[in-house]
Structure 1
Amino acid sequence: MRTNLDFSPLFRSSIGFERMLNALEATRRAETIDNWPPYDIVKTDEDDYRIAMAVAGFSQDELAVTQEQNMLIVSGQKADGEDVQYLHRGIAARSFQRRFELADHVKVVDAGLVNGLLTIDLKREIPEAMKPRQIEIGNGHAVSKSETKQIEAETQAA
């Protein structure tokens, strides 16, 4: 059972979450789910991830891994092979394009192809300015009531 959710109230009452809400909207609108090639996503450390994709029959020249802003695109284009007559074809050799939405500050670190398994290592690198920092509490003076100034007051007639 699939339930369609309406995200429009969230768009009206939130600021700065447009990318996340648009991603949720996009998954809701997804019509066809292609589950080829199969893949795993593994969290290997606090800020490290790995995508492992089974691409049997593809060579390094036939695969492309591209990062565009917050999108990782993995595509495979099988080269036109020789004229072969298959009696049975069980190994999929069709072209594919798989897209992964990446969070802010996630970068591709490495990609490798070994024994038909494409592995892509990702790392979240949060800039120093965005990391939590400890704020030192000083021993400033307390503001007395006589030092406070009233800027604006509303007076009501009785």
Structure 2
Amino acid sequence: MRSYDFSPLMRSSIGFDRIEEMFRGLERATNTDKFPPYNIIKKDADNYRITMAVAGFSQDDIEITATQNELKITGQSQQDSDGQPQEYLHKGIAGRSFTQKFELADTIEVVGASMENGLLHIDLLREIPEAHKPRTIKIGSQALLENKAA
């Protein structure tokens, strides 16, 4: 495992305490299994979509969990309902279980998911809180801070 020195970056940065954790997460992500295949699409400045090929899985076989900074998709293939073993002459559709994780920024929210033709679509939206949007600061606004402190 590599050790990174972030001190040159931190000289002019304030409040980026999670940066080292984020890079470690990226390193783990590059070492994981790439099954099932997926695309990440940027639809516009604030809308994204993850499309994952999940042939052989039904909606009941897939669980999507969104936490504060992580999206986790788990697929658990169900065996045939009749319980009879099947003899495959060729098995090209992978039905193995999987877990795929995506690191999300603080401003990304999962807004929906759908399945169509063996593809799982997960829609994401970047919502920047009003407090984080750019604003103009007028010179001489020190009185504002004193009024808020009182």
Counterparts of 1:15 and 1:22, CA distance in 2: 16
3-state SS in 2 of match to 1:18: coil
Are the aligned partners of 2:25 and 2:103 in contact in 1 as well (CA < 8 Å)?
A: no
Equivalent position of 2:96 in the other structure: 94
What's the counterpart of residue 144 of structure 2? Answer: none
Q: Give the TM-score taking structure 2 as reference length.
A: 0.79
Once superposed, what is the RMSD of the aligned Cα atoms? Answer: 2.5
Q: Which residue of 2 aligns with 1:20?
A: 19
Structure 2 unaligned regions, length at least 5: 141-150
2:146 aligns with none
Q: Identity percentage over the alignment?
A: 51
Alpha-carbon distance in structure 1 between the residues aligned to 2:121 and 2:86: 30
Q: Aligned partners of 1:26, 1:107: CA distance in 2, in Å? A: 19
Distance 1:20 1:62 in 2: 34
Shift of 1:30: 5.8
1:85 aligns with 2:87: yes
Gaps of 5+ in 1: 139-158
Q: Which amino acid aligns with 2:103?
A: E
**What count of residue pairs does the alignment treat as equivalent?**
136
Structure 2 vs 1, CA of residues 104 and 76 (structure 1 numbering), >3 Å: closer, same or farther? Answer: same
The structural deviation recorded for 1:15 is: 4.6
Out of 85, 103, 106, the position equivalent to 1:104 is 106
Shift of 1:80: 2.0
Where 1:17 maps in the other structure, the secondary structure is coil
- Taking a change above 3 Å as real, the CA distance of residues 8 and 91 of structure 1, as seen in their structure-2 partners, is same
Structure with max Cα Rg: 1
Structure 2 Cα separation of the partners of residues 128 and 65 of structure 1: 28
Higher share of residues assigned helix:
2
Could you say which residue in structure 1 is the equivalent of 2:54? Answer: 55
Moved more, 39-48 or 127-136: 127-136
CA deviation map 1:59-107 (0-9, x unaligned): 0000111101110001100012232111211110000000000001210
Residues 1:10 and 1:30: Cα distance change in structure 2 (over 3 Å)? farther
